[in-house]
């Protein structure tokens, strides 16, 4: 497939459990972005990677959230000790390059719907 893929598509977990969300970007895309979409907050930016490096983690909602990217490809967003307010759709996007002046399109994956009971 040529698009951004995410897994799982749906995840139901119990409060307090840890979850891992995976994103496979388009091959060759060096930039990777994580967003969260919820009813109350709309689409929020969480973190981005240029290669394997995340220059700024200040968009992550709390220290329970972490993300990594390996081999300049797959990225994992981990939420520890999940809370009900973490319930949302987590979207991943990739683009050829990053930066404010980048004209490259961000291509979005279908998202992972996380439900915390």
Partner 1 sequence: AQSVTQPDIHITVSEGASLELRCNYSYGATPYLFWYVQSPGQGLQLLLKYFSGDTLVQGIKGFEAEFKRSQSSFNLRKPSVHWSDAAEYFCAFRGSQGNLIFGKGTKLSVKP
What is the binding site for partner 1 (CB under 8 A)? Answer: 4, 31, 33, 35, 42-43, 45, 48, 55-56, 59, 91, 93, 95, 97-103, 105-111
Which residue, 45 or 81, is less far from partner 1 as judged by CB? 45
CB of 32 to partner 1, least distance (A): 11
CB of 18 to partner 1, least distance (A): 25
Beta bridge pairs of residue 107: 94
Which residue, 14 or 100, is less far from partner 1 as judged by CB? 100
CB of 19 to partner 1, least distance (A): 20
85: helix, coil or strand? helix
CB of 14 to partner 1, least distance (A): 25
């Amino acid at each position: 497939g040529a698009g951004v893929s995410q897994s799982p598509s749906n995840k139901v977990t119990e409060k307090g459990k840890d979850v891992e969300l995976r994103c496979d970007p388009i091959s060759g895309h060096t930039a990777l972005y994580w967003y969260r979409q919820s009813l109350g907050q709309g689409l929020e930016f969480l973190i981005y990677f240029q290669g394997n490096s995340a220059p700024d983690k200040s968009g992550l909602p709390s220290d329970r959230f972490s993300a990594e990217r390996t081999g300049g490809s797959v990225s994992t967003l981990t939420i520890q000790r999940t809370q009900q307010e973490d319930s949302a759709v987590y979207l991943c996007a990739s683009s050829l390059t990053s930066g404010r002046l980048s004209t490259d399109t961000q291509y979005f994956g279908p998202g992972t719907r996380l439900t915390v009971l």
